[in-house]
C-alpha cells in the first residue's frame, strides 16, 4: 500500500511540474504579465509625449504666437521696433563681514 501511495504522490508531482515550472507555467505567466504591464506603462508615457507634440504642431500651424514665442525663447530673436537690453550677470562680491578681524587690519 505504501508503494502505491508513493507512486501516486510521484505521479501527482510529475503532473504538477509543467503547471509550475514548464513552458506556459505559472512562473512564466507571471513574468509575462510583468512585462506586459511595463510595456503598457511605456506606451502610456509615449502617448502623452505624442499628444504634447501634436498640440505643438497644431499651434505652430494655426497661429503666429507659437512661432514668435519659440523664436524669442530658443533663438533670442526680437521684433524690428523693439529695444533689447542685456544686463550683465550678477557676480558674487566678497563679503567683508565673513573675514576675521585680524585679517582686515593688515
What pLDDT, in 10s, does the model give residues 10-63?
888 888 877 777 777 788 888 999 999 999 999 999 999 999 999 989 988 888
Q: Mind giving me the DSSP string for 7-64?
A: HHHHHHHHHHHHHHTSTT-HHHHHHHHHHHHHHHHHHHHHHHHHHHHHHHHHHHHH-H
What pLDDT, in 10s, does the model give residues 83-95?
888 888 877 766 6
What pLDDT, in 10s, does the model give residues 70-83?
888 888 888 888 88
User: pTM for the complete prediction?
Assistant: 0.50
Tell me the residue length of the chain.
106
First-to-last alpha carbon distance for the chain, in angstroms, is 106
Amino acid at each position: 500500500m505504501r508503494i502505491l501511495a508513493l507512486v501516486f504522490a510521484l505521479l501527482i508531482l510529475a503532473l504538477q511540474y509543467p503547471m509550475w515550472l514548464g513552458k506556459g507555467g505559472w512562473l512564466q505567466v507571471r513574468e509575462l504579465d510583468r512585462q506586459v504591464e511595463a510595456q503598457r506603462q511605456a506606451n502610456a508615457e509615449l502617448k502623452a509625449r505624442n499628444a504634447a507634440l501634436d498640440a505643438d504642431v497644431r499651434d505652430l500651424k494655426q497661429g503666429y504666437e507659437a512661432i514668435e514665442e519659440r523664436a524669442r525663447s530658443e533663438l533670442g530673436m526680437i521684433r524690428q521696433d523693439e529695444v533689447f537690453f542685456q544686463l550683465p550677470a550678477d557676480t558674487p562680491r566678497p563679503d567683508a563681514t565673513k573675514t576675521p578681524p585680524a585679517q582686515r587690519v593688515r
